[in-house]
Structure 1
Amino acid sequence: MKAIQFDQFGGTDVLHEADVEVPQPGPGQVRVRVRAAGVNALDGKIRSGALQDAFPTPLPVIPGYEVSGAVDAVGVGVTDVSVGDEVVGWSDTGAYAQYALATTVAPKPADLDWEHAVALPVAGETAERVLNLLSVAPGETLLVHGAAGAVGTIVVQLAVARGAHVIGTAGPANQDYVASLGAEATVYGDGLVERVRTLAPNGVDTVLDVAGKGALEDSIALRGGTDRIVTLADFRAHQLGITFATSPKERSADHLAALAQDAAVGKIVTTVRAYPLAQAATAQQVSDAGHIRGKLVLTVA
């Protein structure tokens, strides 16, 4: 099968197309004929070698954690998924490929296309988890740094659905987009504290940093301390006494199925920018640069 892999750490130039063996499902796994794969910021950090201490990665490796496609083989013990089922979930073997193995998958609704489906596993799970971690309640004000990205897009919508007042930071080009999700939008950078205080004169109850662009000090100033601030992207968190949210040990197919159904009927909006699999390096370059609106996706013919 065709796959994108890298044999050494470095820039996006280390990504290349390779012919590799089609993986065989083990117990509890399904094999998915991939139609779309999600691109995440973590993919580029692992590729660069920057996270080798935290996430030791044996080479060569096929990147990618999110997959949507049709099941074409099932392993021993799989009873709730059948060959031919259209699914979305988390890849066990790397999603930048024509085939991938997966243990946790959810049904893909017929009214949800492959690209928008694959925008949900990581962002949806992360959004729900951090909102619970922050105990966001109705009537509270949540500040989201990086509200236009894949996670931010879903966080804003879920928080608004909880009855929270959301303020979202983004670049100038994404102000209308963030506002369309239900947040009050403002630009990041110098003067942020004053702008947020104008939008939330009674203060900010909780803060989520998805961007990792040096906004933690401003967040502490707005909160008056480090309580109820969580970052997903700024590795200075522990130095500042702020919680860094790590990946979960377990994933829920049921939660993903519910989110996919909401997306299919328009209760949750996702925005995607798609590239063919062969342009994985270009997609990762865009991801590495940041300031993404919505989700970057690779399509597999």
Structure 2
Amino acid sequence: MTLQAYSSFAQWYSEGRLSTYVRTMKSAGGALSMLEVEQPAGDVSDPAVPDLVLHQDLLGGSRISGDVGGGRFNARSEKGNFLLARPNFANAIMMETSHRVRSVSFPVAQWQDKLDEAVDARFLFDFQDLHRGWFAAPAIWSALRQLWALCDEQGIPSRLLAQAAGCEILAELCRLVGAPLAPVKGGLAPWAERRSLELMRVRLSEDISLDELAVEARLSPFHFARMFKQSVGVPPRVHLTRLRVEKACELLERTDLPVTEIALEVGYSSNQVLARVFMKHRRMSPSDYRRAVRDPARSSVSFRPLSALEGRE
């Protein structure tokens, strides 16, 4: 069968013959696309697209045969295992039973320069044995689980969230094939740390990208993300969430702005998104927080001081 040409993996699953099986799809600024599909047994082959695509089996126990760019294989998956499809390769895939899969695609055009800078050479997007069947990767599983949870919390992932998660996943793929990125020696220079932190503060309401922060520090995005964590103690995306929650607390305490306006002021698309973030990090709604700090004697909620903000991702 001749498959129509598609410009991306996301377009294929939006418009192709398997589109009816998509349950969730999220894309962020061209950096990556995420989707979850529930498909019946049979032929689930994909056309060649200019994306590196990582699939995770959420159920396990299904036998798959085919070729995703590293030669033919026939193997049974386990829950959480991954399959890595090579860019610009028409996959031939047959599934023995129905299955549920989460996939994340990396457009080569968006990641080529970043990886070139990270390895100081032309990156070939060839992950060798990882294209030859199922493999386990606990670190990637953890990163994807956190990314998916944050998307459920915040909606469409921000550019910073998507790019930082992409760097983490791609760096781990490189490590698995014995080609790890150059080790980071120390954290950010003091001037670079000051500039990047200030940029995050002054552009709190914007969809700032990892690329922009890296440029400010004169580093590649991969190196910046790792050096930022060494200096600050948490990844850039986690620090940005902290700043947003802290600013929201300040506005709730000191102004009478509606919660909807406060959400927009700190970079969230709606008061519902702010409420989900607030519930996770403060264990109360924004309105309950405002009541607790302004009239604690009449508040029915237990107040946690601003200094108790959690550092969890």
TM-score, normalised to structure 1, is 0.26
Instruction: Choose between structure 1 and 2 for higher RCO, CA contacts under 8 A separated by at least 6 residues.
Output: 1
- Give the number of the structure whose residues are more often helix, by fraction: 2
- Give the number of the structure whose residues are more often strand, by fraction: 1
- Larger radius of gyration, structure 1 or 2? 2
